Amino acid sequence: MAIFQGAGVAIVTPFHEDGSVDYEKFAELVEFQIQNGTDAIIVCGTTGESSTLTHEEHLDVIRFCAKTVNGRVPVIAGTGSNCTETAVYLSTEAEKFGVDGLLLVSPYYNKATQKGLFEHYKKIADSVKLPIILYNVPSRTGCNILPQTVVKLCSEVHNIVGVKEASGNISQITKLAALAQGKIDIYSGNDDQIVPILSLGGKGVISVLSNVAPKQTHDICAKFFAGDVEGSCKEQLRAIELCDALFCEVNPIPVKTALSMMGKCGGTLRRPLCEMEEANVEKLRNAMKNYGIL
């Protein structure tokens, strides 16, 4: 059984102006998601600025999220690292907090070989009992987990069950789906490719869009699974302008700016991320208005 099916939000980590984690706003964001039908919460991923959290903050945010959600929807903790031992540490600690699964990004910067990726993931998986979703995002990591490697990992390591595919390469994802034969949970990592990946047998999306439009993102998936493919496609296409605007600068700069416009949290980012260019702010504002969330 999949950890979740549908739209999981890759939730932001809100900060006070001094850069500390704003737990009050974080709790409000969690409630906003649950009240609007999100199917899972993915905490401390790329969108959550995990790379600029200290290990203590990283684990505190995961613990707080799990406690706040309190079993109402699955919580998946981002505990990946380019250092295998660090990923083992974060994963084993997160398991103690009662999360439902782990999301493990491929090692960044050091760019492991496919053999190295297998050994990296197997060591982490062997350290925990939780189900694991691999996270393939080569545009940010410089490292592509090939379909054959994903299949080998899911076949030989019992608790590696799926992959968040954010390569953007539909041909690669199609090959993965063919090799997987329905035995691997595939999630879209790109909000503009939800329906195409669902049509290949995907289980859902791990979504940036869902931060600002949780009900609508949920509905894209729910309509598809209910057999309303036309309605699902219509919702997907309606969201394309907003999806483009949410990635007109590096994630999570635009989505935090959008949440600030909505009054959901401040737009404070940790360096080296910085505030949006004004022209892109206007592009984002117009897209949100056209989508009906501003």
How high does pLDDT run on average in the chain?
Answer: 97
Phi-psi region of 59 (alpha: psi -120 to 50; beta: other; left: phi over 0): alpha
Whether 259 has a pLDDT exceeding 90, the answer reads: yes
Across 114-141, average pLDDT: 97
Q: Is 109 a catalytic residue?
A: no
Which pLDDT score is estimated for 38? 98
The single residue of 121, 135, 187, 291 carrying the catalytic annotation is: 135
The single residue of 25, 152, 164, 203 carrying the catalytic annotation is: 164
pLDDT in tens, 174-222: 999 999 999 999 999 999 999 999 999 999 999 999 999 999 999 999 9
pLDDT in tens, 56-72: 999 999 999 999 999 99
Contact 225, 5 (CB under 8 A): yes
Three-state secondary-structure class, residue 75: strand
Contact 204, 39 (CB under 8 A): yes
In the chain, the DSSP E strands lie at 6-10, 40-43, 75-78, 101-105, 132-136, 160-165, 185-188, 204-207
pLDDT in tens, 9-35: 999 999 999 999 999 999 999 999 999
Q: Which two tokens stand for residue 265?
A: 């949290």
Any idea what DSSP says for residue 206?
A: E
Whether 111 has a pLDDT exceeding 90, the answer reads: no
- Determine the Cα–Cα distance for residues 87 and 44; give it in Å rounded to an integer: 13
Q: Is 164 a catalytic residue?
A: yes
Which pLDDT score is estimated for 160? 98
Which pLDDT score is estimated for 1? 78
Which pLDDT score is estimated for 134? 98
pLDDT in tens, 72-83: 999 999 999 999
Q: Give this prediction's pTM.
A: 0.97
pLDDT in tens, 229-249: 999 999 999 999 999 999 999
pLDDT in tens, 275-291: 999 999 999 999 999 99
Question: Percent of the chain scored above 70 by pLDDT?
Answer: 100
Contact 191, 239 (CB under 8 A): yes
